Structure 1
Amino acid sequence: MKKLKIATLGILALLLILPASLKAELLFSTSQNTITITGSNPKASGNLVIPSTINNLPVTSIGRYAFQYCSGLTSVTLPSSITSIGERAFWACTGLTSVTLPSSITEIGERAFWGCSGLKGITVDIANSTYSSNDGILFNKAQTSLIAFPGGKTGAYTIPNSVTSIGNGAFNGSTGLTSVTLPSSITSIGQETFSRCSGLTSVYFMGNAPDTDSYIFENSFNLTVYHSPDSAGWGATFANRPTALWFADGLLGSINGNAITITGRNPKPTGDLIIPSTINGLPVTSIGDSAFYGSYELTSITIPNSITSIGEAAFYGCSGLTSITIPSGVTFIGSEAFMWCDGLTGVYFLGNAPAKGYGVFGGVLGA
């Protein structure tokens, strides 16, 4: 087969090492006797292998936007000659599932892997002196800066205590991310860090409010920011998102006037859970809507006498509960509060019958 060559304004082309049905031309430029990969024509797909040399010159960098929108690209092999990856080099490569960075990489541009919604992990050669990876997440070598969270990772994530800063767009587009816990060591968060994280509902801060801008949660509409009551710099909102309290024992809550409403727990409770009657000198008077929704590993709950109301779906689906004692102070129980708690065999009321919504014990045998 004849090799195609293109020379236009210093841009050359090389045939990619791909199956016949996926062949494309690798575009590059030459400067100071080194090669920068600038893209491909047509867009790269399948398994992309970047050569270490072209025309006997070392391939040292992947240029800015080089493979943006190459949605058919599934894997990339980078040679040990590569020292830099440009800004947004693999932007929106939605089919890319894994990336391995060689020891030679010393510079990665901002948002290099932004929008890679299928990316499950980034691996860095242990000999790399600039970058490292932990659980597939990209950090600087000392792991004091979190650079990129793969867009295809799902569930909850706790940032290591060593981290002090989070880079621009680090979590951008991680739609499967549900919650993030940030250690007290975090002092700065970059622009658009948690933007477009549509599945993100909870962000937990263990320390004071960090330096950031108002756009870190842009287009992430469904989240609440939780913080410790004894930390500083917080208000009713943070970066345009509502805040609530995260107490030392993991309970979540909000202050209404001079009383506390329990709104959940991080992580979800297992085994026995005791709700305190006071927290930081304030009475705990209510359990909020959906507070322990789906906590199926919860086996018992102790509700204090200070509680006056239990919200809608507060214990919905807590199938591990076998009995509940409702103290005499409770005057209202919301709809579906104990729905599908199908392990319940007894509910004991210590006071008068409270007002209630519909289906409080729906789905519970004998209710």
Structure 2
Amino acid sequence: MFIRIILLLLIFISSLFISCSNYKATSPYDNNNINNNDNIININDDLYAVGPEATDFDIEYNMREYYKQFNKYKIIVKGNINGSKTLEYIKQIINKEYYKEQKIEVDLSRTTLTSIPQEAFMSSATLSAIVFPETLEEIAISAFQGCTSLTSVTLPSSLSILRHHSFAGCSELQTVIFNDNLKTIANKAFYNCKKLNNVVLPPNITSLETSTFDNCILLTSIKLNDKLEEIGANVFQNCSGLVNISLPSSLTSINSTSFALCTNLKNVEYLGDTPTITDTPFSSSAVPTDLYLPNVPEAPSSNSWDKFLGVTWEADKIHYGQSMPNN
């Protein structure tokens, strides 16, 4: 009996050595393990999300915990925060002196928010990114005015209204991706966004209000839609990066200061076939030189285009049947 017990113990000890010899210890700091799915733990950032009942302490605590894990500050919000103090708390937190040299992201995509309130993030210099929910319908007056760290904004498909000054003075904003359902861009919505470089106007915008893109000095490309009827005062004033502009046939009115001080604007394309617009939108110090009329196959006998848009076009600078060059 004793001998049998000894044999069983020896077998057990041998099995331990065999199993341990097949074990390989791995370090969490070993880069060789990054692509080994067996060693990766995917941390769901929903763990750091706060709901509508969260206090300012809760929001800041979770933001700092996120930083410990991912080495960046991010606030994630979920649930129905309409009517709550959540955005008010967030603004207070990200504007604290302690974070003044930091960049902070805010993710609202998991909420059912329908409106960003007036001045909600105004002058929040640390706000570097904002993600909107697909329930958002309105961005109110000056909601992001002066958010000087924002570089890119994607507007959700649910959004229909951008109120005035909504992104005015966002001096680092380079890219805005509009949605097709946007119907209103109010005056000065992107005023003084000096690094904005490319705009594709949504298809349902029929009017550009006063100073919408005023002083966007690096704006080099603007694509207008085929429903646009009116360009208001100072809309593209001092957009000195503009070289080309294509005007849709739907246009009926262009304010006299729409393109004031666009000193590098050289080429104008008009997609209509008759010179129905009688406005004079170009200032005397910024007169374009070439007119392109792709839908007018040849020069009419009446010379009806030679004073179009208040410019005295030289005969060889009116390009009938030709589209404007891309560069």
Superposition TM-score, scaled by structure 2 size:
0.51
Q: Give the CA deviation at 1:199.
A: 0.6
Q: Which residue of 2 aligns with 1:245?
A: 291
**Match runs of 1:217-236 below 5 Å:** 217-218=259-260, 220-224=262-266, 226=268, 228=270, 230-234=274-278
Q: Which residue of 2 aligns with 1:166?
A: 208
Whole-angstrom CA distance in 2 between matches of 1:259 and 1:100: 42
SS in 1 for 2:87: strand
The aligned amino acid for 1:65 is E
Which of 197, 217, 225 aligns to 1:154? It is 197
**Match runs of 1:298-309 below 5 Å:** none
Whole-angstrom CA distance in 1 between matches of 2:226 and 2:315: 24
Q: Which digits, 9 at most, give the CA deviation of each residue in 1:146-191, with x for residues without a partner?
A: 6777875536x66576653334544344333224354553211244
Q: Is the Cα–Cα contact under 8 Å of residues 119 and 145 in structure 2 kept in the other structure?
A: yes
SS in 1 for 2:287: strand
Q: Which digits, 9 at most, give the CA deviation of each residue in 1:65-101, with x for residues without a partner?
A: 3333334422123457766432121123232123345
Q: Residues 191 and 70 of structure 1: is their aligned pair in 2 closer, same or farther, counting only changes over 3 Å?
A: farther
Q: Which residue of 1 aligns with 2:247?
A: 205
Name whichever of 98-107 and 64-73 sits farther off.
98-107
Whole-angstrom CA distance in 2 between matches of 1:161 and 1:197: 22
Superposition TM-score, scaled by structure 1 size:
0.46
Q: Give the CA deviation at 1:208.
A: 6.6
**Match runs of 1:15-164 below 5 Å:** 15-16=59-60, 17=63, 19=67, 34-35=84-85, 37-38=87-88, 39-40=91-92, 41-42=95-96, 45-49=102-106, 61-78=115-132, 84-101=138-155, 107-122=161-176, 136-139=177-180, 141=181, 152-154=195-197, 159=201, 163-164=205-206
Whole-angstrom CA distance in 1 between matches of 2:170 and 2:209: 16
Q: Residues 13 and 160 of structure 1: is their aligned pair in 2 closer, same or farther, counting only changes over 3 Å?
A: closer
The aligned amino acid for 1:262 is K
In structure 2, stretches of 5+ residues that fail to align are 1-54, 76-80, 298-304
The aligned amino acid for 1:248 is P
Q: Is the Cα–Cα contact under 8 Å of residues 269 and 292 in structure 2 kept in the other structure?
A: yes
Q: Give the CA deviation at 1:268.
A: 2.6
Q: Which residue of 1 aligns with 2:5?
A: none
Q: Which residue of 2 aligns with 1:363?
A: none
- Which one has the largest radius of gyration? 2
Q: Give the CA deviation at 1:205.
A: 1.7
The aligned amino acid for 1:86 is A
Q: Give the CA deviation at 1:61.
A: 4.6
**Looking at both structures, which has the greater relative contact order when contacts are Cα pairs under 8 Å and sequence separation is at least 6?**
2
Q: Which digits, 9 at most, give the CA deviation of each residue in 1:273-302, with x for residues without a partner?
A: xxxxxxxxxxxxxxxxxxxxxx8xxxxxxx
SS in 2 for 1:49: strand
SS in 2 for 1:177: coil
SS in 2 for 1:261: helix
Q: Which digits, 9 at most, give the CA deviation of each residue in 1:103-135, with x for residues without a partner?
A: 76565422312333433444xxxxxxxxxxxxx
SS in 1 for 2:275: coil
Whole-angstrom CA distance in 1 between matches of 2:240 and 2:313: 33
Q: Give the CA deviation at 1:53.
A: 11
Q: Give the CA deviation at 1:266.
A: 4.8
**Match runs of 1:345-360 below 5 Å:** none
Whole-angstrom CA distance in 2 between matches of 1:119 and 1:250: 38
Q: Which residue of 1 aligns with 2:17?
A: none
**Match runs of 1:321-336 below 5 Å:** none
The aligned amino acid for 2:103 is G
- RMSD, matched Cα: 4.9
Identity of aligned residues (%): 23
Q: Is 1:194 aligned to residue 236 of structure 2?
A: yes
Whole-angstrom CA distance in 2 between matches of 1:186 and 1:102: 21
Q: Residues 33 and 114 of structure 1: is their aligned pair in 2 closer, same or farther, counting only changes over 3 Å?
A: closer
Number of residue pairs aligned between Structure 1 and Structure 2: 234
Q: Residues 166 and 74 of structure 1: is their aligned pair in 2 closer, same or farther, counting only changes over 3 Å?
A: same
In structure 1, stretches of 5+ residues that fail to align are 1-11, 26-30, 123-135, 270-294, 296-367
Q: Which residue of 2 aligns with 1:261?
A: 316
Whole-angstrom CA distance in 2 between matches of 1:85 and 1:161: 19
Q: Residues 52 and 259 of structure 1: is their aligned pair in 2 closer, same or farther, counting only changes over 3 Å?
A: closer
Q: Which residue of 2 aligns with 1:328?
A: none
The aligned amino acid for 1:195 is Q
Q: Residues 66 and 165 of structure 1: is their aligned pair in 2 closer, same or farther, counting only changes over 3 Å?
A: same
The aligned amino acid for 2:105 is L
Q: Residues 105 and 199 of structure 1: is their aligned pair in 2 closer, same or farther, counting only changes over 3 Å?
A: closer
The aligned amino acid for 2:96 is P
